[in-house]
Amino acid sequence: MKVAMITNYWKNSDGGGVKNYLVNLVDALREIGIKLCVLFREGMDPHEFQGSRNKILFVIDCFRELLKIRPDVIHSHGTWYCLLPGVLYNKIYGCNLIHTFHTEPVKKMPYFGKVFFQYLLNVCDCVTFVSKGLQKRITEIDELTFSRTAITYAGVKAQKIIDEEIKQFRQRFGIKENAIVLLAQAFTAHQLKAEGLKILIKAIGQLIDNYPDILLIATREGKYSEELKQFSREMGLEKHVIFTGDIDNPFIPLNICNIYTHISLGEGGVSIALLEAMSMGKPIIATSVGGIPEAIISEENGLLVKSDPDEIAEKIDFLIQNKDIAEKLGINAKKTVEEKFTWEKASEKFFDLYRTLL
């Protein structure tokens, strides 16, 4: 079986969760013996095919590459210009075609754009979504229809941590051993997450009188980083919010944190950052948006909250004061990931889809 994967984001791009999903999925599929070629638009990888940054030229470049590959299955991701080359190849030469949605639409698609995209999707043998919540939102907002669908969750791939890395991280950002550390991973690049981080910062402001050593670590360098830094200064909380920029290993701050906080106003699938925190057995406070409720059951393996600083502050205080409950939530979160969210399970799901279509 030969599979061609077409994506906008690939290695060394600013693709966030979408990029991480694709990179880990491709690795997992190759581990089970699938011959796979990646065609991408943004990023850098000398071992895979990179098309033009121009969307139309990207479609043409990918179609030409498909003629060389002669795939049994074409698996596109996200956008119309990743799906279109597969549709063209399918119409002329015939092949199996799968498309995966990753992100929640920000606004309703224009009428003619919707008609065009619907035509492309009608050619697909199967359309998959990274969460049930995402499928519901795309159906509601864009009013698209699908003949065959599947839910294909993300997984977790742990990275090794050594004690020296943790020590260096603490020294670099001045994090004391006795500090109460909250963590929000990759909330600086997208507007809905950045707005959620502002709400979390407000909640921190309500806790500093009782917990003067409380810290919030926010990772990733994104388009909203400066705005968020300015917001923390305006709130008088610059000493309590640490912006790390991009980091190579997200499991280092995860190892340090006491509570993982995922306060987002919008989410496509089940966030990989959230799953990583669950895999580390961390107590989690998250908003009930997107696919998050498909991973977090409130008061069983985490706490779901509204995007309200008062409620968030109350739940943070509760977990600090009730370490036994926090520990139990973390243990249950880790079990959930092990049972439901692994890249092995994700690759097996796609392998079954590929095989069924063939």
Give pLDDT tens digits for 277-335: 999 999 999 999 989 999 999 999 999 999 999 999 999 999 999 999 999 999 999 99
Q: What is the pTM of this model?
A: 0.92
Bridge partner residues of 75 (DSSP): 5, 98
Residues 192 and 119 in one domain: no
Tokens coding 118: 């619907």
Count of structural domains within the chain: 2
For strand 96-101 and strand 73-77, is the pairing parallel, antiparallel, or unpaired? parallel
The residue type of 357 is L
Residues 332 and 346 in one domain: no
Element (H, E) at 286: strand 284-287
Name the CA radius of gyration of the chain, rounded.
Answer: 21
Band of residue 14 on the pLDDT scale cut at 50, 70, 90: confident
Name the nearest CA neighbour of 169 among 251, 282, 79.
251
Q: What is the CATH number of the domain that holds 173?
A: 3.40.50.2000
Residues 185 and 40 in one domain: no
Q: Is the pLDDT of residue 106 over 80?
A: no
Residues 143 and 168 in one domain: no
Are 126 and 135 in contact, with CB atoms under 8 Å apart?
no
Instruction: Give the pLDDT mean for 249-275.
Output: 95
Distance of alpha carbon 304 from alpha carbon 131, whole angstroms = 17
Residues 41 and 9 in one domain: yes
Distance of alpha carbon 242 from alpha carbon 194, whole angstroms = 15
Q: Is the pLDDT of residue 209 over 90?
A: yes
Which residues 6+ apart lie within 8 Å of 229 measured at CB? 238, 241, 243
Residues 139 and 11 in one domain: yes
Residues 333 and 349 in one domain: no
Beta-strand ranges (E) seen in 103-193 are 126-129, 149-151, 180-184
Bridge partner residues of 243 (DSSP): 218
Name the nearest CA neighbour of 177 among 236, 258, 238, 243.
258
Q: Round the average pLDDT of the chain to a whole number and report it.
A: 96
Instruction: Give the pLDDT mean for 93-104.
Output: 94
Residues 17 and 149 in one domain: yes
Q: Give the structural domain span for 65.
A: 2-155+342-357
Residues 346 and 312 in one domain: no
Place of tokens 């063209």: 88
Residues 103 and 145 in one domain: yes
Residues 68 and 119 in one domain: yes
Which residues 6+ apart lie within 8 Å of 134 measured at CB? 101, 102, 103, 104, 268, 269, 290, 291
Residues 206 and 277 in one domain: yes
